[in-house]
Amino acid sequence: MSQPTENLRVRRTRKLLRDALVELIEERGFDRLTVGQVTERAMVSRAAFYRNYADKYQLVEQIFDEAMAELLGTVSEDAGAGPPAAERWVVFFEHIDRYHRFYAALLGAKGSPWFAAKMRASLTDMVKEHLRPPPSDSLPAAVLGAMFTQSITWWLGNGRPCTPREIATRSARLAGAVIAEANRPPTNSP
Amino acid sequence: MSQPTENLRVRRTRKLLRDALVELIEERGFDRLTVGQVTERAMVSRAAFYRNYADKYQLVEQIFDEAMAELLGTVSEDAGAGPPAAERWVVFFEHIDRYHRFYAALLGAKGSPWFAAKMRASLTDMVKEHLRPPPSDSLPAAVLGAMFTQSITWWLGNGRPCTPREIATRSARLAGAVIAEANRPPTNSP
DNA sequence: CCGGCGCTGTTCCGATCGGGACAAGGAGCG
DNA sequence: CGCTCCTTGTCCCGATCGGAACAGCGCCGG
Q: What is the pLDDT of residues A120-171, one digit of tens each?
A: 999 999 888 887 777 778 888 999 999 999 999 999 999 999 999 999 999 9
Residue contact B45–A8, C-beta within 8 A: yes
Nearest by CB to residue B12, choosing from A8, A11, A43, is: A43
A79 and A10 both lie in a single domain: no
Confidence of residue B140 (pLDDT cuts 50, 70, 90): confident
What per-residue confidence (pLDDT) applies to A70?
87
- Rounded CA separation B98/A99 (Å): 28
Tell me how close the Cα of B145 comes to any Cα of chain A, in angstroms.
Answer: 37
Q: Which residues of B34-64 are buried (b: 16+ CB within 10 A; e: fewer)?
A: eeebbbebbbbeeebbeeebeebeebbeebb
What per-residue confidence (pLDDT) applies to A74?
79
Instruction: Say which residues have a Cβ less than 8 Å from residue A64's Cβ, sequence separation at least 6.
Output: A115, A118, A122
Q: Which residues span the domain enclosing A20?
A: 1-53
What per-residue confidence (pLDDT) applies to A189?
54
* Cβ neighbours of B44 in A, within 8 Å: 12
A134 and A89 both lie in a single domain: yes
Say how many C-beta atoms besides its own lie within 10 A of residue B96's C-beta.
23
Query: Is B63 among the domain residues?
Result: yes
Of the residues A53, A69, A88, which one is the last residue of a structural domain? Answer: A53
CB B116 within 8 A of CB B107: yes
Amino acid at A36: G
| Mean pLDDT rounded to a whole number for chain A | 89
What per-residue confidence (pLDDT) applies to B3?
46
Å between CA of B21 and C1' of D22: 27
Domains in chain B: how many in total? 2
Strand stretches in B69-152, DSSP E: none
Give the residue from B8, B11, B13, B49 with the most A CB atoms within 10 Å of its CB, the best one to mutate.
B8
A14-36 tens-digit pLDDT = 999 999 999 999 999 999 999 99
B67-114 tens-digit pLDDT = 998 888 877 765 556 667 778 899 999 999 999 999 999 999 999 999
Question: How much is the average pLDDT of B8-27?
Answer: 97
Q: CA Rg, chain B, in Å?
A: 19
DSSP conformation letters of A68-105:
HHHHHHHHHHSSSS-S-HHHHHHHHHHHHHHTHHHHHH
> Is the predicted pLDDT of residue A50 greater than 60, yes or no?
yes
Residue of B nearest to A15 (CA): B43
A49 and A67 both lie in a single domain: no
Query: Is A190 among the domain residues?
Result: no
B87 and B157 both lie in a single domain: yes
Q: Is the CB of A45 under 7 A from strand C?
A: yes
Query: Is A29 among the domain residues?
Result: yes
A71 and A111 both lie in a single domain: yes
Query: Is A4 among the domain residues?
Result: yes
**Which of A93-97, B2-6, B183-187 has the weakest average pLDDT?**
B2-6
B113 and B168 both lie in a single domain: yes
What per-residue confidence (pLDDT) applies to B83?
66
Query: Is A189 among the domain residues?
Result: no
Residue contact A12–B43, C-beta within 8 A: yes
Confidence of residue B49 (pLDDT cuts 50, 70, 90): very high
Residues 54-83 of B with CB under 7 A from strand C: 54-56
B173 and B158 both lie in a single domain: yes
What values do phi and psi take at B28, rounded to 5? -120, -10
CATH number of the domain enclosing B47 = 1.10.10.60
Of the residues B35, B53, B71, which one is the last residue of a structural domain? Answer: B53
What per-residue confidence (pLDDT) applies to B6?
77
* Cβ neighbours of B7 in A, within 8 Å: none
What per-residue confidence (pLDDT) applies to B50?
97
B62 and B48 both lie in a single domain: no
Confidence of residue A3 (pLDDT cuts 50, 70, 90): very low
Amino acid at B63: I
Query: Is B190 among the domain residues?
Result: no
* Cβ neighbours of B43 in A, within 8 Å: 8, 11-12, 15
* Cβ neighbours of A43 in B, within 8 Å: 8, 11-12, 15
A29 and A111 both lie in a single domain: no
B98 and B155 both lie in a single domain: yes
Handedness of CA B148, B150, B151, B153 (dihedral sign): positive
B35 and B64 both lie in a single domain: no
What per-residue confidence (pLDDT) applies to A130?
81
CATH number of the domain enclosing A85 = 1.10.357
Query: Is A92 among the domain residues?
Result: yes
Tell me the three state secondary structure of residue A162. Answer: coil
- Rounded CA separation A30/A34 (Å): 9
Å between CA of B10 and C1' of D12: 22
Query: Is A153 among the domain residues?
Result: yes
B32 and B65 both lie in a single domain: no
> Is the predicted pLDDT of residue B134 greater than 70, yes or no?
yes
**Which of B36-50, B62-76, B141-155 has the weakest average pLDDT?**
B62-76
Å between CA of A187 and C1' of D9: 58
Residues from B contacting A (CB-CB < 8 Å) are 8, 11-12, 15-16, 43-45
